[in-house]
Amino acid sequence: MALPKDPRQKMINIMYLVLTALLALNVSAEILNAFKVVDNSLKESNGVLSTSTSGIYSSFEELLKDPKSAQKAAIWKPKADQVKILADEVSVLIDKYKQDLKVEADLAEDGTFREDNIDAATRLFDTKGEGKNLYSKLENFKSKLLAIDKDMAAQISSKLPLNLEVPQSTAGNLMTGDKIKDWVTSYFHMTPTVAALTMLSKFQNDVKNSENLAATFCINQVGSVKLIMDKFEPLVGTSSTYLMPGEEMTVTAGLGAFNSNVKPTVTIDGRSISVSANGVAESKFNVGGTGARSMNVSVSFIDPNTGEPKTISKKIDYTIGAPAGVAVSPDKMNVLYVGVENPLTITAGAGSEKVTAQFSGGAITKVGGNKYIAKPTQDAAGEQSVTVLVQGKAVGKIMFRVKQLPSPSAFVGNLKQGSVPSASFKAMGGVIAKLEDAEFDAPFEVMSYRVGAVSSDIPDYSPVENKGARWTGAAAALINKLKPGALVAITDIVVRDPGGRSRTLSGSLSYNLK
């Protein structure tokens, strides 16, 4: 069983470095939220690793029962058990430190604590000396892990993600002005609580990754992992749930076998669906208006034989009928959006000149023939109906979901955040906001944002406010003086949607000029 190769893991360290740099400049709500996003990703990764490694330990029990593998399993299972004991000890300790840190940050009965407190981590890990103890435990874990078996050490030592070297820095801590002196100071001195928790999750992730590497080596010395199917579920599907006399129905039936340790993640059009104990997800939803529809179903899981993450996707096509020959079909989207013109096609088995329509969620306008435009009002979100009339008499009512437009993505010109040429960045002239991959034009107006930068000639991070989309005033002056090597952060981006409502975009933009 190999170590899971989730691409998200490759991004975690980069995300953490960027967030740390921004944090040293200004502990804003966006930065704190970004640390929580990283921490949640690490926790998810830890769960995946725990499931994968548990499968290895369970397989040892079965290999001991098999006469063909019992002899080798008897040699390597005790070594795998040592790996588990060492990893569990450190993981439990880190969980304890997470709780202790929250207590230091004024943990309340409802579970909240001061996420931006920069003294709690210093008190716990520096003043009280727990940082040295954590370092000692991590160092002891790494050395004892490699001492279990020399062949294992030779193969995995260079792959272990647990790095206890003190980060090198000549600039020092931008928040305190002090140069980093040791490991504890580097990671926990004057660090906000949420950032320290993220760092603890990172070390916990390193421990679990190291455990998985070692356990995988042990199981590979015996043979492949034996996959145990201990859950069974009948799988039945039909070609249709609505047929006419004489039509043919196709029934597909079979038996699904599941392993209880393999917990899949199921999404429908990106929406997560809960999975029952037998490994099956069920979702019920209103199908909305008439017409041809499709949904994308994805099932993600960890292959217990290889430890690699896999995803199986399938597109499901279906059609929603209309009552008595009445059809109301959205021309572009499966829902209607507030504040924009939503094109509809309406037919009712009569000449288009006899057909009109009413919309319970706002205005609907006939633009010619069977083409209409529906424009929901700001308070129309939810279920709304389009009533079709022939010569003034209602002949059918079709229900639609009405939603607010999703928030757009922000860009500096056409540049996505990351490493960009300095000249290209300056040439963009300002910030834009737009819906990505949208089926219709939904213009968003950028109202304001804050721009800050830090570089060798701008040592202090002092963001300035900019009104409008283009850089003006102090913001323009700041942008014009930037040189390659500068780190630019754009935060607090406020936009106005097509319906005239203002909203602040979540997250921020960061650019490294080169």
Could you write out the DSSP letters of every residue in 186-209? HHHTT--HHHHHHHHHHHHHHHHH
**Residue 415 in domain:** yes
Q: Are residues 108 and 197 in the same domain?
A: yes
**375 within domain boundaries:** yes
Residue 114 pLDDT exceeds 80: yes
Give me the mean pLDDT over the 136-156 stretch: 90
Which band of pLDDT confidence, cut at 50, 70 and 90, is reported for residue 241?
A: very low
Look at the chain and report how many structural domains it folds into. 4
CB 212 within 8 A of CB 302: no
Residue indicated by tokens 């590979």 = 220
- Pairwise CA distance, residues 326 & 347, whole Å: 6
User: Is there a domain that residue 440 lies in?
Assistant: yes
pLDDT band of residue 133 (cuts 50, 70, 90) is very high
Claim to verify: residue 53 and residue 202 sit in the same structural domain: yes
Taking only the tens place, the pLDDT of each residue in 24-79 is 444 556 666 767 777 777 777 778 788 888 888 888 888 888 887 888 888 898 99
- pLDDT surpasses 50 at 242: no
Domain that holds residue 365: 323-403
pLDDT above 60: residue 102 = yes
Angle at alpha carbon of residue 62, lines to 60 and 65, rounded to 5°: 110
| Averaged confidence pLDDT in the chain | 79
Q: What is the pLDDT of residues 261-274, one digit of tens each?
A: 566 787 888 888 77
Residues 78 and 92 in one domain: yes
Residue 77 lies in a domain: yes
3-state SS assignment for residue 228: coil
Q: Which residues of 456-487 are buried (b: 16+ CB within 10 A; e: fewer)?
A: eebeebebeebeebebeeebbebbeebeeebb
Per-residue pLDDT tens over the stretch 321-337: 555 556 777 766 668 88
Same domain flag for 383 and 416: no
Task: Note whether 331 and 302 are same-domain residues.
Answer: no
Pair 202, 256 in one domain: no
> What is the pLDDT confidence band of residue 116, given thresholds at 50, 70 and 90?
confident
HSE of 390, CA atoms in CB hemisphere, 13 A: 13
CATH classification of the domain holding 392:
2.60.40.10
- Which of 271, 291, 316 is where one domain is finished? 316
Q: Among 128-142, 291-305, 377-391, 471-485, which is the least confidently predicted range?
A: 291-305
What DSSP line would sit under 321-369, residue for residue? --GGG-EEEESS-SSEETTS-EEEEEE-SS-GGGEEEEETTEEEEEEET
The reply to whether 399 and 413 lie within a common domain is no
Q: How far is CA 200 from CA 94, 204, 453, in A?
A: 7, 6, 28
Per-residue pLDDT band for 2 (boundaries 50, 70, 90) equals very low
- Return the pLDDT at 358: 93
Co-location of 86 and 164 in the same domain: yes
Q: Can you give the CATH number for the domain in which 486 is found?
A: 2.60.40
| 344 and 493 fall within a common domain | no
Residue 356's pLDDT is what?
92
Q: What is the pLDDT of residue 92?
A: 93
**377 and 493 assigned to the same domain:** no
Q: What pLDDT is recorded for position 88? A: 93
Question: Does residue 244 lie in a domain region?
Answer: no
pLDDT of res. 270: 80
Residue 238 pairs in a beta bridge with 251
